[in-house]
Amino acid sequence: MRTVKDIEEILAGFAPFDMQMSFDNSGFCIGDESAAVTGIMLCEDVTPSVVDEAVAKGCNLIISHHPVIFCGIKTLCSAKDRMRYAVVSKMIKRGIAQISMHTNVDICAGGTNDTLAGMLGVNVASGEGEALRIGALDKPTTLEKFAAKVRDILSDETVRYVGAPGREIRKVAVSTGAGGRESELIYRLQDEGVDVLVTAEVKHNVALEARYAGVAIVETTHYSSERCIVDIIGAALDKHNIDYHKSETEENPYRRA
């Protein structure tokens, strides 16, 4: 039977952990690396419901996109760290290990950004080595139609956009997760002649800068932009004939009004 360490090495073969960004905490995070793996659960986020699902399905290893522990923590107590305490305490009691495949998979070939670009019909031309991809559509379309396509492909009714509905869209940038927090990205895309950025968590000032710069934004939810992670990791495990479950309990926290 494979150990947690064995699975970690297989995952590193797909997306080396040293590719991760400086602020990140990808990799083995919780548990006993020498434990024999009885079952694997794939998810985007380790929530209490995902831990319960792992227990119910006999999984003692959770491979998530987002790290459970992201930055240095000084406490892990039920009052101050409510959800994290619920997750980590249950994982340790139940002997469940956790590995996260985060920015190493946002960056790597065939990772979240490549996958999202592919889903949207973007022929990737640049962005290798970054948590971003830029490329062109086969045929130009309008912003309104492109935003509707993003909504439908990601099954995310909350998708909204910045820019004139009839604006022509050909050159597209995608940045999965919270790519809408820095105006610098908008300036760079403007300089590169990008028509639209598909991302999540767009700050108000970034939306205003983008409108002024003439770079459209299609904003999806963080969850929807990265849920492809379970398929990506699943495919990497398939190559080694390793069984897994994709979480069926996790869901987008946002709903359309």
Residues that bind Zn ion (CB under 5 A): 177, 226
Taking the least distance from each CB to Zn ion, the nearer of 132 and 169 is 132
The amino acid occupying position 133 is R
- For residue 131, the minimal CB distance to Zn ion (Å) is 9
Taking the least distance from each CB to Zn ion, the nearer of 23 and 241 is 23
Residue labelled with tokens 């959770």:
62
- For residue 53, the minimal CB distance to Zn ion (Å) is 20
Taking the least distance from each CB to Zn ion, the nearer of 60 and 220 is 220
Nearest position to Zn ion, beta carbon: 177
Q: What is the DSSP letter of 243?
A: -
Taking the least distance from each CB to Zn ion, the nearer of 148 and 178 is 178
- For residue 184, the minimal CB distance to Zn ion (Å) is 19
H/E stretch holding 30 reads: strand 27-30
Taking the least distance from each CB to Zn ion, the nearer of 31 and 177 is 177
Give the relative orientation of helices 112-119 and 229-238 as an angle to the nearest 10 degrees. Answer: 110
The amino acid occupying position 76 is L
- For residue 223, the minimal CB distance to Zn ion (Å) is 8
Exposed/middle/buried for residue 193 (C-beta within 10 Å: 0-12, 13-18, 19+): exposed
User: CA 173, CA 46: separation in Å to the nearest integer?
Assistant: 28
- Using alpha carbons only, what angle is made at residue 20 by residues 14 and 25, rounded to the nearest 5 degrees? 110
Structure-block tokens of residue 163: 């820019």
End-to-end CA distance of the chain: 47
Taking the least distance from each CB to Zn ion, the nearer of 60 and 112 is 112
- For residue 66, the minimal CB distance to Zn ion (Å) is 6
Taking the least distance from each CB to Zn ion, the nearer of 171 and 227 is 227
Structure-block tokens of residue 4: 């947690």
- For residue 90, the minimal CB distance to Zn ion (Å) is 23
Structure-block tokens of residue 53: 């699902």
Residue labelled with tokens 């079952």:
39
- For residue 152, the minimal CB distance to Zn ion (Å) is 22
HSE-CB of 178 using CA atoms within 13 angstroms: 6
